[in-house]
Amino acid sequence: MQVYLVGGAVRDKLLGYPVYDHDWVVVGATPQQMVERGFQPVGADFPVFIHPESGEEYALARTERKSGRGYTGFQYHASPDVTLEQDLKRRDLTINAMAETEDGTLIDPYGGEHDLEARVLRHVSPAFAEDPLRVLRVARFAARYAHLGFTLADETLALMRELSSGDELEYLTAERVWQEFERALGERSPGVFLEVLHRCGALPALLPEVAELPVHPEWCRLTMLLTQLDEARERFALLLGAALSELDEEDAAARIEALCQRLRTPKAYRDQSLLVSRHHRALYALPALDGDARLSLAQSLDLMRRPQRIESLAACFDRLADWLGQRCNGQAWLAALHGALGGIEAKGLMQEGFSGKALGDELKRRQRDACAALEFD
């Protein structure tokens, strides 16, 4: 029995990145031998075991054969006679197909270290084209390492185009697409994820609502703006806001609703995107709006009941303004609206003798006047 550290831990160690997760491959063992050593078996498709002390995953070396459609259509073979090289050959990219022995010796049968040094994302074997999920994974790795100068090998892009031209992408579940999309939003250059999907022709099948975005001539500028936002939901809102900014509000909102429903995104992502897309034009025009329009915007953004989201919304509005060439000081403007309305309450008006319809009318009048009195730099 031989144990090897494999995959991302080896790759990131060579890149000088911190290593948080360790994946191990075991060669020359049977499931029974693993259990006898105290490992806990998990997974129904192929033998994976949890180390009794570290909790890390140990998988028996295996090969795979395409037997169906999509990324689950594979039959796996794991036995003591499967070699490490055979196991590594089934992986997606050469930089993910390296291993390390217990004494730290690098095993690199497919040139992963060379590709790391050359900053190239390259597939290991033609079997790459059998798994549609790899289109998303490679796009995500491109987003993770773009700032280091990594590029996509032409022959790998060709295989991704081959995958995208057929119907294999249709077999990816909405949950799996969203999982990769959300992870990509957290990478160093999230915009590159969509750019790569565009280049290989996968966007119309995977994210048709934003299929036209990456052809924009100032794509790199948007990528930089995305990196200025800390949270994935903010980046999601900015991406959709930029992609749909030329549409009218209702059409843009309909596309966002459709995308979020299809991918089953968290409610927070959908809500943030809808607010940014629906109201960015009104906010950018805020200095020129009258009191009624300013009050309507404050109410649409629900500033009085949810002031805690002002900072996050302002960050999205400001970056989208940069993208569109608009002027905006979102944090100050939204805080000013909130502050102007904060001292006007129905309870105080009731103490002044207002009630019924007159109470509602007076409340709105004072709120409108307070908004109209604001001056925005």
User: How confident is the model over 178-211, as pLDDT tens digits?
Assistant: 999 999 999 988 888 988 999 999 999 999 888 8
Q: What is the pLDDT of residue 63?
A: 83
Q: Which residue has the higher pLDDT, 371 or 70?
A: 371
For residues 269 and 275, the answer to whether their CB atoms sit within 8 Å is no
Please indicate, yes or no, if residue 123 is contained in any of the structural domains: no
pLDDT at 341: 94
pLDDT at 83: 95
Q: How many CB atoms lie within 10 A of CB 26?
A: 24
Average pLDDT over residues 105-128: 96
Residue 41 inside a domain? The answer is: yes
What percentage of residues in the chain have a pLDDT greater than 90?
Answer: 72
Residue in this structure with the two tokens 């001292």, named with its chain if needed: 343
pLDDT of residue 222: 84
Residue 246: the pLDDT is 87
Does residue 150 lie within any of the structural domains? no
Burial class for 296, CB neighbours closer than 10 Å (0-12, 13-18, 19+): middle
What pLDDT score was predicted for residue 68? 53
**Residue 216: pLDDT above 80?**
no
Q: In this model, does residue 292 exceed pLDDT 90?
A: yes
Q: Which tens digits make up the pLDDT trace of 231-287?
A: 999 999 999 999 898 899 999 999 999 999 999 999 999 999 999 999 999 999 999
pLDDT on residue 219:
73
DSSP structure class, residue 129: G
pLDDT band for position 6 (50/70/90)? Answer: very high
Q: In which residue are the tokens 């509005």 written? A: 317
The reply to whether 188 falls in a domain is no
Running DSSP on this structure, what letter comes out for residue 131?
A: -
Q: Report yes or no on 338 lying in a domain.
A: no
Q: Is residue 325 in some structural domain?
A: no
CA angle 176, 98, 102 (to 5 degrees): 115
Give pLDDT, residue 66: 56
CB atoms inside a 10 Å sphere around CB 2: 12
Asked if pLDDT for residue 45 goes beyond 70, the answer is no
Identify whether the C-beta of residue 341 lies closer than 8 Å to the C-beta of residue 366. Answer: no
For the segment 73-83, the average pLDDT, to the nearest whole number, is 77
Average of pLDDT values for 341-358? Answer: 90
Strands 48-50 and 74-78, bridge-based pairing: unpaired
- For residue 276, give the amino acid letter: V
For the chain, the average pLDDT equals 91
pLDDT, position 191: 85
Q: What is the rounded distance in angstroms from the CA atom of residue 253 to the CA atom of residue 271?
A: 10
Residue-wise pLDDT for 140-152, tens only, equals: 999 999 999 999 9
Dihedral sign for Cα 22, 25, 26, 31, please: positive
Percentage of the chain lying above the pLDDT 70 cut: 95
pLDDT of residue 62: 87
Residue 369 has pLDDT above 70, yes or no: yes
pLDDT on residue 155 = 97
DSSP state of 360: H
Q: What pLDDT score was predicted for residue 21? A: 86
Residue pLDDT, tens place only, 305-337: 999 999 999 999 999 999 999 999 999 999 999
pLDDT at site 218:
73
**Distance in angstroms (rounded) separating the CA atoms of residues 265 and 258:** 11
Residue 1 lies in a domain: yes
93 secondary structure, DSSP code: B
Does residue 72 carry a pLDDT above 70?
Answer: no
Residue 2, CA distances (Å) to 26, 55, 188 in order: 6, 19, 36
Cα four-point dihedral sign 310, 248, 185, 284: negative
Total of domains in the chain: 1
Nearest to 252 by CA among 288, 221, 280, 220: 280
Separation between Cα atoms, residue 298 and residue 10, nearest integer Å? 51
Q: What is the CATH number of the domain that holds 16?
A: 3.30.460.10
Domain that holds residue 41: 1-111
Per-residue pLDDT at 69 exceeds 90: no
pLDDT value of residue 314: 97
**pLDDT at site 258:** 94
| Interval 356-375 mean pLDDT | 93
Strand partners, 26: 3, 60
**Could you give the C-alpha distances from 108 to 78, 92, 295, in angstroms and in order?**
21, 14, 63
In a domain, 262, yes or no: no
